[in-house]
């Protein structure tokens, strides 16, 4: 026997969704944002044909602050070199 649609929806919302609002889940999302930000910075530098030394690559990939990575991404668009992304810091 098939349940009416409202019963099916009720069962879906009975599940505990607190994890998705928890500190740990926020931390996981922030980590994902930082990883994506680092990939974006490196992609822009590489697509522009700039050499990305290992030290620069490491500094970018180890940065866990999405705001810093966003700043570096904006600089990567016009930087004369990969190292120039960090100038004035």
Distance CA 44, CA 54 (A): 16
Per-residue pLDDT tens digits for 33-87: 778 899 999 999 999 999 999 999 999 999 988 899 999 999 999 999 999 999 8
Closest CA to 88 of 65, 63, 71: 71
CB within 8 Å of 38: residues ≥ 6 apart: 60, 61, 63, 69
3-state SS assignment for residue 78? coil
3-state SS assignment for residue 45? helix
As a whole number, mean pLDDT of residues 1-30 equals 62
Whether the pLDDT of residue 12 is over 60: the answer is: no
As a whole number, mean pLDDT of residues 13-17 equals 59
């Amino acid at each position: 026997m098939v349940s009416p649609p409202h019963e099916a929806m009720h069962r879906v919302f009975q599940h505990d969704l607190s994890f998705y609002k928890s500190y740990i889940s926020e931390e996981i999302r922030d980590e994902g944002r930082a990883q994506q930000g680092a990939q974006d910075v490196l992609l822009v530098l590489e697509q522009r044909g700039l050499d990305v030394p290992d030290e620069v690559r490491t500094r970018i990939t180890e940065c866990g602050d999405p705001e810093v990575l966003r700043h570096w991404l904006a600089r990567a668009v016009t930087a004369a070199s990969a190292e120039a992304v960090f100038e004035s810091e």
